[in-house]
């Protein structure tokens, strides 16, 4: 390479480097970093949770304690490595002290580690794995979505009583999937039901035909599925394609509205656990109307788990800052958040931030997909279970990351 | 484990295999005839599915089957003119890098236009429902696409091996100067190959959409398997692509019985073993990539 | 002698990165700077395979990844959450071992098939790491690695750690350059330009390929081990073949095939380009993909230099 070319390269790189610099902002606004999928296959989930956060911020008039709040978005790329890098950047360069977001539990775990290292507060909005408030629980990390324990135990009794006693498991083969099946298995045994088989399905499986043939052949009454994401959309189509519903009932340990929404009516047949339903209360309906007006192009036309957790997390954070009286002392805000109760969370039961594992306890919903409805009312609510009734006890989850230690 | 189950799984594997062959076909054609590793293949597959979703209810299933591949071929034409032209005759890895970069951009474009959320199409009514013989259940649509895939692959093979067109383009891979000197318009032929390859990719996207659903990442998901199948079967060999596809389909299906957790690694392992003992793939002929 | 030193690119590169943390604004982002240095180590040694020997390996991410895991596991289990030097060394050796295994098996393959077998290897390894919860933590990875002190320095402090990595980088950079300019390095170039002729001249090309693969695996593992301490975690994602693809691109972007320093420039552009574009636009992947294509097309001599001489 000639000298000139080389100098050109150096010049270009210096320009890039310079451009990366963000000018220092005024000290006044409170900056909250949203590390959330923007690009990639979960960009729609990310957009929904960010929309929820914005809706909550709007309710507070965009400010708290007299100071404006700025939201800075960073792309997690659904990749723990990239997410951690962006989280670090938000803290080191943008001076952010509060982080929120993440759809994937492994991303949330990575961000949590950065938050702890850098003394920032992080609320994991949408990851459901047990470890976020269990093995990987941290003093600086809170989690909004329910754990798999809460989801499964919220519905297991109903399934055993009404759907069947011979259970077959389909497990998405990674730790979140394993945890769903594990809790379901525990409940199954406690309720006197029998396991007739399990198949683990690798991440990225698009075709479940061979697995479903085995399921059909298993003699099960209930197919207990822990599977998410794009794989799940394909799975649900194939459940109908292979006429699984003729032979047994299907129960999902976690279902997202956005996975069911694109389906054909006749493909909407499973029972499932979910975190919130837009038609649950007058408040959720009103929220949905407001949301649909503000975000007409959203991937999901109604309140869903993602936007709810975003909304709730923002509300909890702002309330905690208000209670602490300051946004500059992260430790104070953490301690203020512990034990916080939010009554106007749009649900029947209030939200409680449990101090020892930093888990938000709200409610979960047991539903059945509605195969006749047009429009957005695609499920029937069978039960709404307060999380506090079914969450892990201290005996089951011996951690303590609270302030009073 | 009973015999009906095992038979259904084997059948399922063969059907899957045919589908995989159809998906890999366009990729195989372009690589075998023009020596270009076209990483945009996955995105063409996705475009086929998305356009099908747009048009199916407007113009009907069979018209869509004709129109959509044409639309995808237009995109292919543009890509060939702008990018692929610069890459003929060079090391295939060069084309790989360029098409890889472009596919990243195109996939994002799909996300921008259609959004990252999933879309849904159903199987056409004449092929919906199941065949049920006692315990044995199989979806009619899958049987339909198996037959369709077989026709696609068979037709392409005839085109390559039995026509003058195929012979000329293949010769062009080895000695483009000579072919030009013999009076053939090689650039035009190569463009035709590329367009054909992308049209086939789009067509396979139409077939797969009702069973695998439509989402922005669907293209990347089929790219690796296509690549593996083509290398397994041997570059430049259409029968090789069929055999590779069937091998992957069958092995994946049977693997769900024995070690279901590793079904996604099976094609890689299979390929590693095959390439190690048959360096050119099972049916590979001596070609420019050696 | 003085003139030669000033013209030496290393002088300028070392100077810039010595001053990095005090550069306005960008200096705040120490972690990115440290990561950049690690990429330098990684890509400079990778270029010995790619640019010098013409080995299109899409599997090097695997060595970086297992290096990261090796260090993490050593830290957590062998040293009961302590140590720094030895876990990093173990990381480097882990990278070398895996590279040796793969390098030995494929040493006589070339071209597309070589590339392909490296992808196969890395994907299988990725699949294993993703699933082997007990050892690798599955997709949640390994956590709990911490930096405490080393040689009396508080390496928990990001800036101190940056300078430590800088020293490692400087040493590695010089070592790799010595290797490249040695007769071994010359033989590698000969193999790239005309393997058949090299064989006729009596070189067992397979052995040379094996050795260079092992060396680059060692450095990749070293960079991975340090990366584990930078992020205080180890994840399987880095083993996915697309990460290896990133490394190939970064190396080629800067013209690694015609210049020894190409990988440094390429890494800077690649890493910063991604960070820069992604912070400005949701749909940054579109620009990213397009710029990638444009850059490859704009600097074809760098790339063609590698591909033409086959």
Tell me the average pLDDT across C225-231. 91
Q: Which of residues 121-160 of B touch A (CB under 8 A)?
A: 122-123, 130, 132, 135, 137, 139, 141-142
Q: What pLDDT score was predicted for residue B46? A: 95
Under the banding of pLDDT at 50, 70 and 90, the label for residue A31 is: very high
Percent of chain B with pLDDT over 90: 34
pLDDT of residue A5: 58
Q: What is the pLDDT of residue C306?
A: 44
Chain B: closest CA distance from residue C290 (Å): 6
**Over residues C146-158, mean pLDDT:** 82
Rounded-to-integer distance, Cα B91 and Cα B98, Å: 12
The yes-or-no verdict on residue C111 having pLDDT over 80 is no
Tell me the pTM.
0.87
Please report which confidence band the pLDDT of residue C26 belongs to, taking 50, 70 and 90 as the band edges: low
Q: How far is B25 from chain C (nearest CA, A)?
A: 19
pLDDT of residue C309: 40
C-alpha A270/C-alpha B278 separation (Å) is 47
Chain A closest-CA separation from residue B74 CA (Å):
26
- Chain A partners within 8 Å of B118 (Cβ): 230, 233, 258-259, 262
Interface contact C289-B97, CB threshold 8 A: no
**DSSP string of A320-364?**
HHHHHT-SS-HHHHHHHHTT-EES-SSSSSPEEE-TTT-BEE-EE
Mean pLDDT value of segment B107-124: 87
At A277, the pLDDT band (50, 70, 90 cuts) reads very high
Mean of pLDDT over chain A: 89
pLDDT in tens, A125-154: 998 988 889 888 999 999 999 999 999 999
- Can you tell me the mean pLDDT for C13-39? 82
Out of B135, B142, B256, the one facing A211 most closely (by C-beta) is B256
Average pLDDT, chain B: 86
CA distances from A179 to A183, A328, A367, C29 (A): 6, 37, 21, 37
What's the half-sphere exposure (Cβ side, CA atoms, 13 Å) at B248?
33
**A342: β partners:** A351
Share of residues in chain A with pLDDT > 70 (%): 93
Give the separation between CA A6 and CA C262, rounded to whole angstroms. 9
- CA–CA dist C114, B238 (Å, integer): 22
Q: Angle formed by the axes of helices B186-212 and B140-162, to 10°?
A: 170
Q: Is the pLDDT of residue A351 over 80?
A: yes
pLDDT tens figures, A1-18: 455 655 665 666 566 555
- Angstrom distance (rounded) from CA A11 to CA C216: 29
- Contact assignment for C138 to A174 by CB distance below 8 Å: yes
- Locate tokens 């990875």: which residue? C141
Q: What is the DSSP string of A148-165?
A: HHHHHHHHHHHHHHHT-S
Query: Å from C86 to nearest chain A CA?
Result: 23
Quick one: average pLDDT of C235-249? 81
Q: Span C297-308, mean pLDDT?
A: 54
Q: Which residue of B has its CA nearest to C248?
A: B97
Q: What are phi and psi of C266, to 5 degrees?
A: -60, -45
Within a 13 Å sphere around the CA of C188, how many CA atoms are in the beta-carbon half? 25
At residue B152 the predicted structure's pLDDT band, cuts being 50, 70 and 90, is very high
Q: Tell me which residues of chain C, numbers 281 to 310, contact chain A at a CB-CB cutoff of 8 Å.
A: 282-285, 302
Q: Which residues of C touch A127 (CB under 8 A)?
A: none
Show the domain range for B163.
Answer: 22-216
Judged against a pLDDT cut of 90, whether residue A235 lies above it is answered with: yes
Strand stretches in chain B, DSSP E: 130-133, 136-139
pLDDT band at A71 (very low <50, low <70, confident <90, very high): very high
A366 vs A204, which has greater pLDDT?
Answer: A366
pLDDT at C299: 66
| CA–CA distance, A14 with A108 (Å, rounded to integer) | 33
Is C292 in Cβ contact with B268 (below 8 Å)? no
What is the pLDDT, as a whole number, of residue C134? Answer: 81
Token couple for A77:
């790329």
**B16 domain residue, yes or no:** no
In-domain check, residue B222: no
- Of residues B42 and A6, the one with the higher pLDDT is B42
C-alpha radius of gyration, chain B, whole number: 19
The residue with greater pLDDT, C191 or B173, is C191
Q: For B96-114, what is the mean pLDDT?
A: 89
ipTM (interface predicted TM): 0.85
Taking contacts as CB-CB distances below 8 angstroms, the residues of chain B near A300 are 117
- For the segment C17-32, the average pLDDT, to the nearest whole number, is 77
3 state SS for B28-87 = HHHHHHHCCCCCCHHHHHHHHHHHHHHHHHHHCHHHHHHHHHHHHHHHHHHHHHHCHHHH
Closest by CA position to A249, among listed A193, A168, A180, A305: A168
Of B122, B221, B254, the CB nearest to A204: B221
The CA-to-CA distance between both ends of chain C, in Å, stands at: 37
* Secondary structure, 3-state, chain C: CHHHHHHCHHHHHHHHHHHHHHCCCHHHCHHHHHHHHHHHHHHHHHHHHHHHCCCCCCCHHHHHHHHHHHHHHHHHHHCCCCCCHHHHHHHHHHHHHHHHHHHHHCCCCCHHHHHHHHHHHHHHHHHHHHHCHHHHCHHHCEECCCCCEECCEECCCHHHHHHHHHHHHHHHHHHHHHHHHCHHHHHHHHHHHCHHHHHHCCCCHHHHHHHHHHHHHHHHHHHHHHHHHHHCEECHHHHCHHHHHHHHHHHHHCCCCCCCCHHHHHHHHHHHHHHHHHHHCCCHHHHHHHHHHHHHHHCHHHHHHHHHCC
Inform me whether the pLDDT recorded for C82 exceeds 80.
Answer: no
What is d(CA C73, CA C45) in angstroms, rounded to the nearest whole number? 24
- Helix orientation angle between C241-253 and C30-47, rounded to the nearest 10 degrees: 80
- Of the pLDDT bands very low, low, confident and very high (cuts 50, 70, 90), residue B63 is very high
The confidence score (pLDDT) of residue C298 equals 74
Q: Which of A25-29, A303-307, B236-240, C186-190 has the highest mean pLDDT?
A: A303-307
B263 contacts in chain A (CB < 8 Å): 201-202, 205
pLDDT value at residue A19: 53
Other C-beta atoms lying within 10 Å of the C-beta of residue C300: 14
Top pLDDT among B197 and C199 is at B197
Residues of C in contact with B111 (CB under 8 A): 283, 285
pLDDT, average across residues C96-109 = 88
Of the candidates B108, B112, B276, the beta carbon closest to that of C289 is on: B108
Higher pLDDT, A5 or C84: C84
Cα gap C164→C155, rounded to integer Å: 8
Give CA–CA dist A167/A189, Å, rounded: 10
Test mutation, B256, B257, B259, B264, chain A, max A CBs within 10 A: B256
C-alpha torsion A153→A159→A164→A166, nearest 10: -20
- Classify residue A392 by its DSSP letter: P
Phi, psi of C22 (to 5 degrees): -100, 0
Number of domains in chain B: 1
In the predicted structure, residue B285 carries a pLDDT above the cut 70: no
Note the pLDDT of residue C172: 94
C198 in Cβ contact with C191 (< 8 Å): yes
- The winner for highest mean pLDDT among A305-309, B127-131, C59-63, C204-208 is A305-309
Handedness of CA C50, C53, C59, C62 (dihedral sign): negative
- Determine the pLDDT at residue A18: 54
Q: Give A205's contacts in chain B (Cβ within 8 Å).
A: 263-264
In chain C, the residue whose alpha carbon lies closest to the alpha carbon of A88 is C31
C127 in B contact zone (CB under 8 Å): yes
Choice among B96-100, C20-24, C101-105 with the minimum mean pLDDT: C20-24
DSSP one-letter code for B119: B
Q: Work out the pLDDT band at A25, boundaries 50, 70, 90.
A: very low
pLDDT above 90 for A166: yes
Distance from CA of A249 to the nearest CA of C (A): 29
Looking at the partner chain, which of A9, A17, A39 has a beta carbon nearest the beta carbon of C26? A17
pLDDT above 90: residue A374:
no
Of A206, A210, A233, the CB nearest to B256: A210
Does the structure show a pLDDT above 90 at A157?
Answer: yes
Model pLDDT, residue C146: 82
Judged by CB atoms closer than 8 Å, whether chains meet at C111 and B91 is answered as yes
Instruction: Give mean pLDDT, residues C88-101.
Output: 94
Question: Which chain C residue has its CA at the smallest distance from A74's CA?
Answer: C279
Chain C partners of A12 at a C-beta cutoff of 8 Å? 269
Give residue for tokens 């649909």: A292
Contact list in B for residue A210 (CB cut-off 8 A) is 9, 12-13, 16, 252-254, 256-257
CB contact under 8 A, A93 and C238: no
User: Is residue B136 exposed (0-12), middle (13-18) or buried (19+ Cβ within 10 Å)?
Assistant: middle
Q: Pick the residue with more confidence: B55 or C145?
A: B55
Distance, C-alpha C53 to centroid of its chain: 16
Cβ-Cβ contacts under 8 Å, C9 against chain A: 6
Look at residue A22 in the predicted model and tell me its pLDDT. Answer: 47
Question: Is it the case that residue A241 has pLDDT exceeding 70?
Answer: yes
> Domains of chain A by range and CATH?
28-146+276-361 (3.40.50.2300), 149-274 (3.40.50.2300)
| Interchain CB contact of C73 with A (< 8 Å) | no
Nearest to A229 by CA among A259, A269, A184, A271: A259
B262 contacts: CB under 8 Å, gap ≥ 6:
A202, B255, C127, C131
Residue B101 has pLDDT above 50, yes or no: yes
Residue ranges of B 79-108 with Cβ closer than 8 A to chain A: 108
With H, G, I as helix, E, B as strand and everything else as coil, classify residue A169.
strand
Q: Which residues of C touch A90 (CB under 8 A)?
A: none
Of C141, C232, C276, the CB nearest to A16: C276
List, in sequence order, the alpha helices (H) in A21-132: 43-59, 80-92, 105-118
Terminal-residue alpha carbon distance, chain A: 61
C7: closest chain A residue by CA:
A3
Min distance B119 CA to chain C CA atoms (Å): 20
Segment B157-173 shows an average pLDDT of 79
Percent of chain C with pLDDT over 90: 25
Residue B170 lies in a domain: yes
- Domain assignment present for residue B193? The answer is yes
Asked if pLDDT for residue A20 goes beyond 70, the answer is no
CA distances from C112 to B94, B147, C242 (A): 11, 33, 16
Q: What is the pLDDT of residue B205?
A: 94
The candidate with the shortest Cα–Cα distance to C198, out of C62, C206, C117, is C206
Cα–Cα dist A369/A272, whole Å: 8
Query: Is B10 domain-assigned?
Result: no
The more confident residue out of C106 and C41 is C41
Buried b or exposed e, range A278-295, using 16+ CB within 10 angstroms = bbbbeebeebbeebbeeb
pLDDT of C193 > 50? The answer is yes
Mean pLDDT, residues A66-73:
93
pLDDT band at A23 (very low <50, low <70, confident <90, very high): very low
Q: What's the residue count for chain A?
A: 405
């Amino acid at each position: 390479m000639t000298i000139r070319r080389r100098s050109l390269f150096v010049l270009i790189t210096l320009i890039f480097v310079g451009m990366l610099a963000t000018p220092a902002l005024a000290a006044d606004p409170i900056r909250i970093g949203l590390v959330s999928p923007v690009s990639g296959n979960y960009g729609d989930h990310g957009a929904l949770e960010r929309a929820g956060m914005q809706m909550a911020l709007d309710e507070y008039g965009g400010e708290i304690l007299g100071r404006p709040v700025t939201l800075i978005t960073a792309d997690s790329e659904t990749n723990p490595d990239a997410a951690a890098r962006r989280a670090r950047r938000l803290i080191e360069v943008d001076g952010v002290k509060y982080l929120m977001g993440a759809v994937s539990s492994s991303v949330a775990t990575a961000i949590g580690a950065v938050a702890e290292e850098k003394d920032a507060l992080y609320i994991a909005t949408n990851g459901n794995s047990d470890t976020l408030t269990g093995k990987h629980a941290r003093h600086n990390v809170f989690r909004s979505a329910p754990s798999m324990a809460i989801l499964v135990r919220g519905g297991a009794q109903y399934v055993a009583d009404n759907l069947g006693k011979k259970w077959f498991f389909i497990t998405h083969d990674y730790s979140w999937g394993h945890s769903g099946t594990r809790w379901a298995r525990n409940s199954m045994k406690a309720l006197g039901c029998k396991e007739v088989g399990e198949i683990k399905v690798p991440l990225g499986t698009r075709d479940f035909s061979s697995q479903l043939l085995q399921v059909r052949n298993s003699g099960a009454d209930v197919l207990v599925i822990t599977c998410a994401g794009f794989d799940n959309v394909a799975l649900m189509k194939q459940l109908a394609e292979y006429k699984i519903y003729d032979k047994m009932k299907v129960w999902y340990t976690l279902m997202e509205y956005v996975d069911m929404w694109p389906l054909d009516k006749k493909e909407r047949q499973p029972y499932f656990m979910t975190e919130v339903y837009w038609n649950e209360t007058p408040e959720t309906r009103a929220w949905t109307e407001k949301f649909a007006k503000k975000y007409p192009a959203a991937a999901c036309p109604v309140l869903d788990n993602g936007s709810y957790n975003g909304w709730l997390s923002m509300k909890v954070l702002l309330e905690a800052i208000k209670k602490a009286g300051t946004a500059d002392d992260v430790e104070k805000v953490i301690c203020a958040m512990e034990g916080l109760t939010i009554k106007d969370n749009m649900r029947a039961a209030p939200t409680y931030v449990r101090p020892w594992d930093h888990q938000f306890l709200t409610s979960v919903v047991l539903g059945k997909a509605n195969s006749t409805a047009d429009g957005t009312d695609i499920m029937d609510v069978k039960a709404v279970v307060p999380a506090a009734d079914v969450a892990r006890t201290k005996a089951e989850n011996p951690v303590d990351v609270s302030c009073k230690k | 484990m009973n015999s009906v189950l095992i038979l259904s799984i084997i059948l399922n594997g063969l059907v899957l295999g045919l589908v995989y062959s159809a998906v890999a076909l366009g990729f195989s054609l372009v690589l075998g005839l023009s020596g270009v590793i076209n990483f945009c293949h996955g995105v063409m597959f996705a475009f086929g599915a998305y356009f099908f979703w747009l048009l199916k209810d407007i113009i009907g299933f069979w018209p869509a089957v004709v129109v959509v591949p044409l639309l995808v071929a237009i995109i292919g034409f543009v890509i060939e003119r702008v990018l692929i032209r610069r890459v003929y005759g060079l090391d295939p890895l060069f084309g790989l890098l360029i098409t890889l970069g472009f596919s990243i951009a195109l996939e994002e474009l799909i996300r921008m236009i259609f959004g990252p959320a999933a879309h849904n199409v159903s199987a056409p009514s004449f092929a919906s429902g199941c065949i049920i013989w006692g315990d044995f259940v199989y979806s009619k649509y899958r049987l339909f696409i198996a037959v369709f895939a077989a026709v696609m692959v068979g037709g392409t093979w005839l085109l390559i091996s039995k026509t003058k067109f195929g012979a000329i383009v293949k010769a062009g891979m080895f000695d483009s100067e000579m072919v030009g000197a013999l009076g053939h318009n090689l650039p035009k032929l190569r463009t035709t190959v590329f367009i054909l390859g992308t049209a086939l990719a789009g067509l396979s996207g139409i077939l797969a959409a009702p069973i695998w659903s439509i989402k922005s990442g669907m293209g990347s998901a089929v790219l690796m398997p296509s690549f593996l199948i083509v290398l397994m079967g041997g570059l430049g060999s259409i029968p090789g692509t069929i055999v590779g596809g069937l091998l992957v389909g069958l092995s994946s299906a049977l693997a769900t019985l024995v070690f279901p957790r590793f079904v996604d690694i099976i094609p890689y392992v299979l390929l590693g073993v095959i390439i190690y003992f048959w360096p050119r793939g099972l049916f590979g002929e001596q070609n420019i990539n050696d | 002698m003085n003139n030669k030193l000033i013209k030496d690119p290393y002088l300028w590169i070392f100077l810039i990165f010595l001053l990095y943390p005090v550069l306005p604004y960008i200096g705040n982002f120490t972690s990115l700077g440290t990561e950049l240095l690690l990429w330098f180590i990684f890509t400079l040694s990778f270029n010995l395979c790619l640019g010098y020997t013409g080995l299109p390996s899409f599997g090097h991410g695997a060595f970086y990844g297992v290096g990261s895991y090796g260090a993490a596991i050593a830290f957590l289990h062998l040293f009961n959450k302590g140590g720094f030097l030895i876990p990093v060394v173990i990381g480097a050796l882990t990278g070398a071992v895996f590279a040796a295994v793969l390098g030995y098996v494929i040493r006589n393959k070339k071209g597309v098939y070589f590339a392909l077998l490296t992808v196969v290897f890395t994907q299988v390894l990725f699949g294993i790491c993703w699933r082997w919860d007990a050892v690798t933590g599955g997709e949640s990875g390994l956590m709990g690695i911490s930096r405490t002190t080393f040689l009396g320095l508080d390496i928990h402090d990001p800036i101190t750690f940056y300078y430590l990595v800088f020293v490692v980088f400087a040493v590695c950079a010089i070592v790799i350059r010595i290797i490249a300019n040695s007769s071994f390095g010359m033989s590698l170039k000969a193999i790239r330009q005309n393997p058949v002729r090299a064989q006729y001249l009596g070189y067992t090309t397979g052995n040379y390929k094996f050795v260079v693969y092992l060396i680059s695996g060692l450095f990749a593992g070293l960079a991975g081990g340090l990366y584990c301490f930078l992020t205080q975690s180890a994840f399987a994602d880095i083993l996915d073949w697309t990460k290896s693809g990133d490394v190939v691109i970064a190396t080629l972007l800067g013209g690694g095939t015609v210049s020894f320093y190409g990988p440094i420039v390429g890494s800077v552009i690649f890493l910063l380009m991604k960070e820069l574009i992604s912070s400005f636009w949701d749909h940054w992947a579109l620009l990213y993909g397009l710029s990638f294509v444009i850059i490859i097309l704009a600097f074809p001599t760098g790339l063609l230099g590698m591909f033409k001489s086959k």
